[in-house]
């Protein structure tokens, strides 16, 4: 039985470990933190439980597919609840739209704001449904080790037929004249780490995931998914070692043969690294074993970082819903500060998540759990002064929206930004979501799952294929495990 060490116990690492073990490998996961989850770890204080990272549960079919592979239905592992409304959007001037769950209700919303937009919405869903199904049934699950994997005349023909070879921004505006409706269908691509102007319309599949498949929440918090993944992995025979950082990947005779940790060397036949790709190459490999130098990384377009606030408040939050997007300032101006001319924004957009609205278990009885996220450019110089300035800005707007004071009721407060991402995850430039899915960083143009310089060294996670987010990370772990198993079997 071949032995494999997986570095990191985030979504990609857990998925890879389970697939490797199910394929016959003896697997040990080595994780620097004291708990699994990576960016999806938790933090608790004074009865408040916070998910440190992901807060949106989209593409439920990806999770269903994953757990079915190991003989489980999702509802056997955690309770999912569909949110309705899916989320709220606050526009300039304070106007707020509650975005309903279900295509019929969404069609009515679009028609209400723009006569004829209901029919355009139906066409938009038809086109994006095709792209989503093709991706889910095939293209998302290609390892992207070669361009020849994507030499598919049928797909190219369909992309041109549906006019997907343009930006998501242009694609959205070809359906809807009302600027807010266009914003509504284009904003989900921000999860992929780039603006709608820089993202291909083929990623409109994210809009389909939002509108057709819905927004969900696992009761107890997002970490319930991690707990389920650990359970599945352990049932496959995976062993875990938490609180054990990796200092170096051992390379002998041009092949990865294990890892060095403060407690000693762990030997293996192969290593699969799900930690930040740049961190693995720069910090865990000797220079002669790296695929990419500083020049390569300096030219990559990284996803944004984020300024996060974890807040516990006494009392309720008024009419605030589970998810609220504050697009009440100039979106283009904020995007310019994130993507074009990196700087701390002077009028930031932000997102508020109040999971205690749906799930009272994440806060003491009668109190509220609040998570705030402000997108920032990766690589900014961190500053406590700037963190506090933005905190008071967004809290003022939040207080204006709910019509009551909130800051005076904050009893737990923690901020988290670039320096924290770098320290906790080795995140390149303090990025929060990995590498942006621009056209020049898609498929084979991303850093590969398999090292080109070291045999038996594989990668998974947000900086390789398919890209940022929870569902893509699950898929990344599966793809990397499959390629590694093929090698171990001598294919």
How far is residue 200's CA from residue 59's CA, in Å, rounded to a whole number?
Answer: 19
For the entire predicted model, the pTM comes to 0.96
Q: Is residue 286 part of a domain?
A: yes
Predicted pLDDT of residue 491: 54
Count of residues making up the chain = 491
Distance CA 244, CA 7 (A): 10
Q: Is residue 328 part of a domain?
A: yes
Phi, psi of 255 (to 5 degrees): -135, 145
**Residue (of 59, 75, 401) closest to 228 by Cα position:** 75
Residues 134 and 72 both lie in one domain: no
Q: Residue 402: inside a domain, yes or no? A: yes
Quote the tokens at residue 200.
Answer: 């291909």
Q: Do 113 and 262 fall into the same domain?
A: no
Do residues 116 and 200 both lie within one domain? yes
The confidence score (pLDDT) of residue 161 equals 60
Same domain, 317 and 284: no
pLDDT for the residue 340:
85
Query: Is residue 415 included in any domain, yes or no?
Result: yes
The rounded distance, in Å, linking the Cα atoms of 182 and 175 is: 8
| Look-up of token digits 């500060």 | 337
Q: Are residues 404 and 471 in the same domain?
A: no
Identify whether residues 306 and 413 lie together within a single domain.
Answer: yes
Are 62 and 128 contained in the same domain?
no
Question: Helices in 308-371 by DSSP H: which ranges?
Answer: 331-335
CATH code where residue 67 lies: 3.50.50.60
Domain boundary, last residue among 401, 425, 449: 425
d(CA 182, CA 172): 5
For residue 449, give both structure tokens: 């799952």
For residue 234, tell me if it sits in a domain: yes
DSSP 420: H
Residues 467, 354 share a domain: no
Other beta carbons within 10 Å of 291:
16
Q: Whole domain around residue 286: which residue ranges?
A: 3-78+220-300+435-488
Whether residue 86 is contained in a domain is answered as: no
Contacts of 49 (CB under 8 A, 6+ apart): 42, 43, 221, 361, 362, 363, 369
Report residue 402 as tokens.
Answer: 């709910």
Structural tokens at position 467? 């890209």
Helix/strand/coil for 381: coil
Residue 430 inside a domain? The answer is: no
The one-digit pLDDT tens for each residue of the chain (491 residues) are 799 999 999 999 999 999 999 999 999 999 999 999 999 999 999 999 999 999 999 999 999 999 999 999 999 999 999 999 999 999 999 999 999 999 999 999 999 999 999 999 999 999 999 989 988 888 788 888 876 666 666 666 666 665 566 889 999 999 999 999 999 999 998 877 778 888 888 889 999 999 999 999 999 999 999 999 999 999 999 999 999 999 999 999 999 999 999 999 999 999 999 999 999 999 999 999 999 999 999 999 999 999 999 999 999 999 999 999 999 998 889 888 998 899 999 999 999 999 999 999 999 999 999 999 999 999 999 999 999 999 999 999 999 999 999 999 999 999 999 999 999 999 999 999 899 888 788 888 899 999 999 999 999 999 999 988 999 999 999 999 999 999 999 85
Are the C-beta atoms of 479 and 18 separated by less than 8 Å? Answer: no
Last residue of a domain, one of 425, 451, 476: 425
Indicate the residue among 370, 390, 425 that finishes a domain.
425
Asked if 267 and 244 sit in the same domain, the reply is yes
Long-range contacts of 136-144 (CB under 8 A, 24+ apart): 136/61, 136/62, 140/466, 140/472, 140/475, 141/475, 141/478, 141/479, 142/443, 142/479, 143/449, 143/465, 143/479, 143/480, 143/482, 143/483, 144/443, 144/444, 144/446, 144/448, 144/449, 144/465, 144/466
pLDDT at position 274 is: 98
Taking every pair of C-alpha atoms in the chain, what is the biggest distance, in angstroms? Answer: 68
User: Which H/E stretch holds residue 415?
Assistant: strand 410-416
Please indicate, yes or no, if residue 94 is contained in any of the structural domains: no
Number of domains, the chain: 3
Residues 203, 146 share a domain: yes
Looking at the structure, tell me whether residues 65 and 122 fall in a common domain. no
pLDDT of 154: 66
What number of other Cβ atoms are within 10 A of residue 407's Cβ? 14
Residue 192: predicted pLDDT: 75
**pLDDT at residue 156, rounded to an integer:** 65
pLDDT at 213: 98
Could you tell me the CA-to-CA distances from 359 to 44, 48, 355, 402 in Å, in that order?
A: 15, 12, 6, 19
The pLDDT value recorded for residue 200 is 84
CA distance 75 to 87: 23
**Same structural domain for residues 405 and 306?**
yes
């Amino acid at each position: 039985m071949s032995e494999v060490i997986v570095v990191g116990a985030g979504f990609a690492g857990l998925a890879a470990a389970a697939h490797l073990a199910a394929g016959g490998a003896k697997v040990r996961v080595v994780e620097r933190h004291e708990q699994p989850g990576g960016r999806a770890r938790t933090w608790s204080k004074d009865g408040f439980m916070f998910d440190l990272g992901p807060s949106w549960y989209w593409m439920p079919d990806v999770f269903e597919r994953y757990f079915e592979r190991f003989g489980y239905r999702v509802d056997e592992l955690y309770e999912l609840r569909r949110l309705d409304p899916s989320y709220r959007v606050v526009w300039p001037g304070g106007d707020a739209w509650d975005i309903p769950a279900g295509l019929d209700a969404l069609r009515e919303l679009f028609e209400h704001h723009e006569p004829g937009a209901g029919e355009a919405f139906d066409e938009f869903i038809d086109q994006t449904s095709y792209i989503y199904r093709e991706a889910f049934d095939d293209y998302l699950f290609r390892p992207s080790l070669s361009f020849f994997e994507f030499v598919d005349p049928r797909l190219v023909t369909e992309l041109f037929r549906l006019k997907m070879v343009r930006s998501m921004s242009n694609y959205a505006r070809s359906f809807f004249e009302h600027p807010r409706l266009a914003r509504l269908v284009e904003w989900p691509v921000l999860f992929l780490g780039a603006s709608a102007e820089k993202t291909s319309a083929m990623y409109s599949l994210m809009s389909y995931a939002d509108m057709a498949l819905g927004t969900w929440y696992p009761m107890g918090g997002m970490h319930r998914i991690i707990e389920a993944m650990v359970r599945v992995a352990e049932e496959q025979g995976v062993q875990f070692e938490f609180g054990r950082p990796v200092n170096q990947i051992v390379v002998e005779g041009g092949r990865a043969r294990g890892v060095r940790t403060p407690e000693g060397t762990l030997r293996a036949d192969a290593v699969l690294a799900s930690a930040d790709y740049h961190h693995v190459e720069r910090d865990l490999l000797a220079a002669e074993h790296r695929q990419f130098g500083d020049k390569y990384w300096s030219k990559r377009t990284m996803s944004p970082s984020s300024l996060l606030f974890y807040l516990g408040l006494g009392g309720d939050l008024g009419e605030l819903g589970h998810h609220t997007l504050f697009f009440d300032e100039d979106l283009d101006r904020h995007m310019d500060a994130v993507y074009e001319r990196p700087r701390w924004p002077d009028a930031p957009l932000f997102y508020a998540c109040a999971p205690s609205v749906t799930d009272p278990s994440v806060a003491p009885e009668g109190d509220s759990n609040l998570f705030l996220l402000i997108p920032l450019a990766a690589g900014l110089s961190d500053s406590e002064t700037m963190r506090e300035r933005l905190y008071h800005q967004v809290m003022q707007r939040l207080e204006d929206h709910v019509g009551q004071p909130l800051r005076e009721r904050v009893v737990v407060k923690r901020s988290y930004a670039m320096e924290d991402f770098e320290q906790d995850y080795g995140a390149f430039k303090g990025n929060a979501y990995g590498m942006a899915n621009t056209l020049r960083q898609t498929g084979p143009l991303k850093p590969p799952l398999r090292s080109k310089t070291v045999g038996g060294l594989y990668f998974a996670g947000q900086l390789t294929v398919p890209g940022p987010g929870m569902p893509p990370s699950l898929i990344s772990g599966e793809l990397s495990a499959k390629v590694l198993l093929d090698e171990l079997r001598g294919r």
